Structure 1
Amino acid sequence: MNRLPRPHRHDVLIASVGLAGGLVLWALGLFSGGSGLLGRGWTLLPLAVTAALELMRRTRPQTALLCGTAAIVGDQFTSGSLATVLMFTDLVYAAVLYGTPAAARRIPVTTGLVTVATTLGYLAWFRTPQALLLGILTGLVSFAPATTGALVRNHRDTAEAATLRAEQTALLAELDRAQAVVAERARMARELHDLVAGHLSAIAIHSTAALSLDEPATTRRALTVIRENSVDGLAEMRRLIGLLRDSGADDEPAAAPTLAGLDALVAQARTNGASSGLGFTLRDDRPAGAALPAPVELAAYRIVQESLTNALKHASPGTVTASLAHTGRALTVEVSSPYGGGRRPGPRAPGSGAGLVGMRERAVLLGGSFASGPEPAADGREIWRVRAELPLREGESRA
């Protein structure tokens, strides 16, 4: 069996004050001027019923209004109590404010029609202008509290909707912030890997050679390469740190690497890979004066840089070729290196696989494509080919 919900403490207070006020008026002999057909004692019955219904104004508002309507009609056959009338107006107000949306729309219309019909009925019955006062009184008891409840409910619903929109906006802003942080961390990870991996790989290879070979000339060459890569790596790290810091108003933004620096990049790789039997060449088939968007140029530079680093780590003896081609709609970057064919001389540096992931991410972020893997070469050997196609305009991708 379902128990009735406990009334709100404010509803208990309203019911108590209304009942006590009605008893005081009854004791003083103050009545609202009903027909008095049932005598003064019967005035307490509608009063008590209406006071009891006030306990349900918030939990069962429509039931309270229906029963309250019967009580107010019954009150007209007694001497009448002002307290009963006032509590009935509160039941009308509560039915609109706490009732269902359908009831909130229906009750003001119904009470308005009742007010009009009652006014016309009084005019037809009494045939005097004073009958309008009875119609106005009916409107004050029914239509006025109904419209007041509708206005308050609309204001409450508007405030709740605004609060919900604000919460949703804050949630979306937090999601955007979290996504931006994740994207920035991924970008920083790619930049850090591309900046450091090549230099540290060369340092690892040549330091291992210096430790394993007891030849002063070899050791000196290895230490020279180690120093060059250490200095270059430190400069790159300082540039990255400068980008991550908040720059002042007078600071110049650090320039991003461009494809004009590929010659120096290949020359450095050639120096680092000489002891391992690796040669490096660059073939640039781009038309003269062809301009590239800065994000495309940076991505192409980093892809070539990482591919050369991977070749230093894993390629077999032979020539590593980096090539660029400009088709008008996209920039194609290819790097091929000897693959398989036995172990090359000299030490190798370990790899983590993060470089391939970073290159793919760079291409995908620009709407391009990326592929890497072994392929057969013309001489029957295998090569490892990295190919990236970077659209020059957003959305132009060729798979």
Structure 2
Amino acid sequence: MKTRTQVAIIGAGPSGLLLGQLLHKAGIDNIILERQSGEYVLGRIRAGILEQVTVDLLKEAGVGERVQREGVVHHSIELVFAGSRHPIDVHGLTGGKVVTAYGQTELTRDLMDARQAQGLATVYEAADVSVHGFDGAQPVVRYRKDGVEHEVQCDFIAGCDGFHGVCRASVPKGAITEYEKVYPFGWLGVLADVPPVSPHAIVYGNSDRGFSLCSMRSMTRSRYYVQCPLEDKVEEWSDQRFWDELRSRLDPELAARVVTGPSIEKSIAPLRSFVAEPMRFGRLFLAGDAAHIVPPTGAKGLNLAATDVKYLAGAFIEHYAENSAAGIDTYSQRALRRIWKAERFSWWLTNLMHRFPDTQGFGQRMQEAELDYLVNSKAASTALAENYVGLPL
């Protein structure tokens, strides 16, 4: 069965759905293909800190109402080290910019609901998706659904299908360069229906026991992390062991405020930095995790995907509205410039806050000295704040 569209989007995660929504608003026909079910996509527990750029983009796409109503604005972050807690006023240091706590699951749901309400084409459980002819003028996407073979003819293919997706894997090896750093530890994350320990700030902890992070999804649901060895198994971590370990990595006052409860979800995630460049191959474009991964320390993954989509949507809109290739031709360069800056910030913050295998006495004291400088220098605090809230587009 053959169909025709202007832009075929591979992947129904936040980046693919957001791109589809922006293109639809501009009158550009698109179809989204997703190998998983909609329920599976919604079940993925991911980041929940949105830069102002991302919130503004959701408004532009017409799906910003709920994030404005239910998202919790953060004006500061707090750094815990050497047994003490230090606030960083990101709002004051950046001239009024903030970040918003709003779960990626909820953002995905908003985008799914909008797409369904508008009757736009989304194919879930599309099997054996493959991309062809993107080095020429008539790219094609093939897939199988319910035993029937389908072919989508299109002008452009947008690869929003994640790190393990088919789009980047389909690029000839000689046409792409991949940069990667794998970190020697993981994050054990727990989601629980308990009030956040700090309702208006995200808490980063550095201790000789390792890194910790206290964040939130709402005023009644919290997300906590502790650094752990990669070889650890989730089954080895009872809820009680997790809560005890988290408290041991915080300052005494904050530790006493931690409200515990049964975990809804518990998982161990490895950390990596990864960039593939360029992000354009003829009429195939990569966006989001298909092109780059950041360690979650800087809360940049979802936000980088959103800015990729903003650049890419703008390029397609310019192509159709003005018959101009300028946005398409500069997409990769523009996106990568911002990506590498976010990669640098995430790498720096990861190195600053975590215990590495060689971070013994001297290394730990060096981290504490840098943190002490960071919280007592307005210039250093400002650099942290402006990266945290998101660099300008």
- In the superposition, the TM-score normalised over structure 2's length comes to 0.20
Q: Could you say which structure has the greater relative contact order, defined with CA pairs below 8 angstroms and 6 or more residues apart?
A: 2
Higher strand share: 2
- In the superposition, the TM-score normalised over structure 1's length comes to 0.20
The structure number with the bigger radius of gyration is 1
